[in-house]
């Protein structure tokens, strides 16, 4: 009858409409997924160098050690802790080559040197006494108020300074690589 015909027609129109809707949704989804894939790939490509340096932690090899200059500033003690946490220690400088190497960073950096225990008795963070030194002329001059060692006058071969341990500075960690 006429009624049934109309109903079929309406159902067909609705079905067609739904089909169109599904096709549209499908099309949008495919386009979206393609764009998303492109986006993810571009993100992966652009973040590749960062990921690599993060994995390696910006350690620089020199002689039998790896060195890492910090990206933030901390007090000497907090700097020492940071290095320990990384399985390293604040840099210990025993040789002229190492001294020249650290100057190349052209940055004021805490090193593993302190006379906090006994004024004027400079010790390295591994407990050894400082025997060879590369103090800048006039340093150390801080007495009781400057008990921590830093590389400061990096344009001079002898670049060390004693400074107050509470000052926040960049620092350099050293990780010995077993030969
Ligand atoms: C700094 O800020 P000033 O010039 O008084 C440094 C000293 C150095 C001195 C060398 C807090 O003292 O340790 O011996 O330069 N003070 C600080 O010129 O880093
Ligand atoms: Ca000083």
150 close to ligand 1 (CB < 6 Angstrom) = no
pTM for this model (two decimals) = 0.72
pLDDT-derived band of residue 55, with 50, 70 and 90 as boundaries?
low
Ramachandran category for residue 31: left, alpha or beta (phi over 0 → left; psi -120 to 50 → alpha): alpha
pLDDT in tens, 161-175: 999 999 999 999 999
Sign of the four-CA dihedral 105, 109, 111, 113: positive
User: Considering only CA atoms, which of 65, 152, 136 is closest in space to residue 103?
Assistant: 152
Q: What are the tens digits of pLDDT across the range 125-156?
A: 999 999 999 999 999 999 999 999 999 999 99
Residue list, CB under 5 A from ion ligand 2: 141-142, 146, 161-162
Distance CA 146, CA 101 (A): 24
- Of all atoms in ligand 1, which is nearest to the CA of residue 163? 13
Question: What is the C-alpha separation between 18 and 135, in angstroms, rounded?
Answer: 82
Decide if 65 contacts 174 (C-beta within 8 A).
yes
Residue nearest to atom 16 of ligand 1 (CA): 163
**Sole residue written with tokens 């004693």:** 162
The answer, yes or no, to whether residue 70 has pLDDT greater than 50, is yes
CA 146 – ligand 1 centroid, Å:
9
Ligand closest to CA 162: 2
Distances (CA, A) of 125 to 49, 81, 101: 33, 11, 19
Q: What is residue 60's predicted lDDT score, i.e. its pLDDT?
A: 94
Domain-by-domain residue ranges, the chain? Answer: 1-56, 60-176
Point out the ligand nearest to the CA of residue 164. Answer: 1
Mean pLDDT estimate for the chain = 92
Taking the C-alpha atoms of residue 54 and residue 153, their distance in angstroms, rounded to an integer, is 30
Q: What is the mean pLDDT of residues 80-100?
A: 97
CATH of the structural domain 60-176, one choice from 3.40.1160.10, 3.10.100.10, 3.30.930.10, 3.30.70.3040: 3.10.100.10
pLDDT band at 54; cut points 50, 70, 90: very low
CB of 146 within 6 A of ligand 1: the answer is yes
Position 154 scores a pLDDT of 98
Closest ligand to Cα 142? 2
**Cα of 118 to ligand 2 centre, how many Å?**
16
Instruction: Enumerate the β-bridge partners of residue 8.
Output: none
């Amino acid at each position: 009858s006429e009624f049934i015909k109309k109903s079929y027609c309406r159902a067909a129109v609705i079905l067609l409409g739904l089909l169109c809707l599904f096709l549209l949704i499908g099309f949008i989804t495919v386009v979206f997924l393609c764009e998303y894939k492109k986006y993810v790939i571009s993100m992966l490509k652009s973040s590749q160098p960062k990921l690599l340096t993060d994995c390696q932690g910006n350690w620089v090899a020199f002689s039998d050690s790896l060195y890492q200059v910090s990206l933030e500033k901390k007090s000497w003690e907090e700097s020492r802790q940071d290095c320990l946490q990384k399985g390293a220690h604040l840099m210990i400088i025993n040789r002229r080559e190492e001294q020249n190497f650290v100057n190349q960073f052209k940055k004021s950096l805490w090193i593993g040197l302190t006379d906090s225990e006994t004024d004027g008795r400079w010790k390295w963070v591994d407990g050894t006494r400082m025997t060879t030194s590369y103090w800048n002329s006039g340093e150390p001059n801080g007495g009781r108020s400057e008990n921590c060692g830093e590389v400061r006058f990096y344009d001079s071969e002898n670049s060390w300074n004693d400074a107050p341990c509470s000052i926040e500075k960049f620092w350099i960690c050293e990780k010995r690589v077993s030969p």
